Chain A
Amino acid sequence: MKFIAILLLAVLLCSCGPGTRSAVVVAGSTSVQPYAEVLAEEYAKRYPGRDVDIQGGGSSAGIRAAQSGTADIGMSSRGLSGDELQMWSAEIARDGLAMIVHPNNALDSLTPEEVRAVYTGRVTNWGELGGPEGRIHVITREEGSGTRGAFEDMLMEGQMITLKAIVQNTNGSVRQLVSNDASSIGFISLGLVDDTVKALQLDGVEATGENVTNGSYMLFRPFIFVSEGEPDGSVMQFIEFTMSPEGQAILAGEGLVSSGEVARR
Chain B
Amino acid sequence: MKNGFKDKLSERVFLALALSSISAIALITVFIVIQGAPIIGKVGLRDFIFGMTWAPSQGKFGIFPMIIGSLSVTLGAVVLGVPVGICGAVFLAEFAPAAVRNLFRPAIQLLAGIPSVVYGFWGLIFIVPFIRDNLGGPGLSILAGSIVLAIMILPTIITISEVQILALPRQYKEGALALGMTHWQAIYSVQLPAAKSGIVAAVVLGIGRAMGETMAVIMVLGNAPGIPTSILDPVRTLTTNIGIEMGYAAGDHRQALFATGIVLFVIIMILNITAQFITRKK
Interface positions of A (Cβ within 8 A of B): 30, 58, 135, 137, 142-146, 149, 152, 160, 162-169, 177, 180-181, 183-184
Q: Are B226 and A144 in contact (CB under 8 A)?
A: no
Find chain A residues with CB under 8 A from B137 CB: 135, 137
Q: Are A143 and B139 in contact (CB under 8 A)?
A: no
Find chain B residues with CB under 8 A from A163 CB: 53-55, 65, 224-226
Q: Are B55 and A167 in contact (CB under 8 A)?
A: no
Contacts A163-B225, A166-B234; is A144 near B54 (CB within 8 Å)? no
Instruction: Find A145's partner among B53, B138, B247 (CB 8 Å cutoff).
Output: B247
Per-residue interface assignment for chain B, residues 237 to 273, with 1 indicating a CB less than 8 Å from any chain A CB and 0 otherwise: 0000000110111100100000000000000000000
Q: A166 to B233, alpha carbons, bound, how many Å? A: 9
In the complex, 7 of the A-B residue pairs with CB atoms within 8 angstroms, ordered by the A residue number, are: A142-B244, A143-B57, A152-B57, A165-B224, A167-B222, A167-B225, A169-B244
Chain B residues touching A, range = 20 to 34
Interface check B210, CB cutoff 8 A: no
Give the top 3 A-B pairs by smallest Cβ distance, nearest first.
A163-B226, A144-B248, A167-B223
Which secondary structure dominates chain A's binding surface?
loop
Instruction: Find A181's partner among B139, B224, B250 (CB 8 Å cutoff).
Output: B139
Interface check B21, CB cutoff 8 A: no
Smallest Cβ distance from A187 to chain B, in angstroms?
A: 16
Find chain B residues with CB under 8 A from A142 CB: 223, 244-245, 247-248
Find chain B residues with CB under 8 A from A166 CB: 138, 140, 222-224, 234
Residue of B nearest to A121 (CB): B226
Q: A7 to B171, alpha carbons, bound, how many Å? A: 65
Smallest Cβ distance from A75 to chain B, in angstroms?
A: 15
Find chain A residues with CB under 8 A from B53 CB: 163
Smallest Cβ distance from B182 to chain A, in angstroms?
A: 50
Q: Are A160 and B55 in contact (CB under 8 A)?
A: yes
Q: A166 to B132, alpha carbons, bound, how many Å? A: 14
Find chain B residues with CB under 8 A from A180 CB: 129
Smallest Cβ distance from A221 to chain B, in angstroms?
A: 16
Q: A144 to B57, alpha carbons, bound, how many Å? A: 7
Q: A169 to B132, alpha carbons, bound, how many Å? A: 21
Q: Are B226 and A162 in contact (CB under 8 A)?
A: yes
Most chain B Cβ neighbours within 10 Å, of A142, A152, A160, A180: A142
Find chain A residues with CB under 8 A from B54 CB: 143, 163
Q: A160 to B225, alpha carbons, bound, how many Å? A: 13
Find chain B residues with CB under 8 A from A177 CB: 140
Q: A152 to B57, alpha carbons, bound, how many Å? A: 11
Residue of B nearest to A57 (CB): B250
User: What 15 additional pairs, Cβ within 8 angstroms, besides A144-B245, A163-B53, A181-B139?
Assistant: A143-B249, A144-B57, A144-B247, A144-B248, A160-B55, A160-B58, A163-B224, A164-B226, A166-B222, A166-B223, A167-B223, A167-B236, A168-B223, A169-B247, A181-B138
Find chain A residues with CB under 8 A from B138 CB: 137, 166, 181, 183-184
Find chain B residues with CB under 8 A from A165 CB: 224
Interface residue ranges of B190-248 to A (CB < 8 Å):
218, 222-226, 233-234, 236, 244-245, 247-248
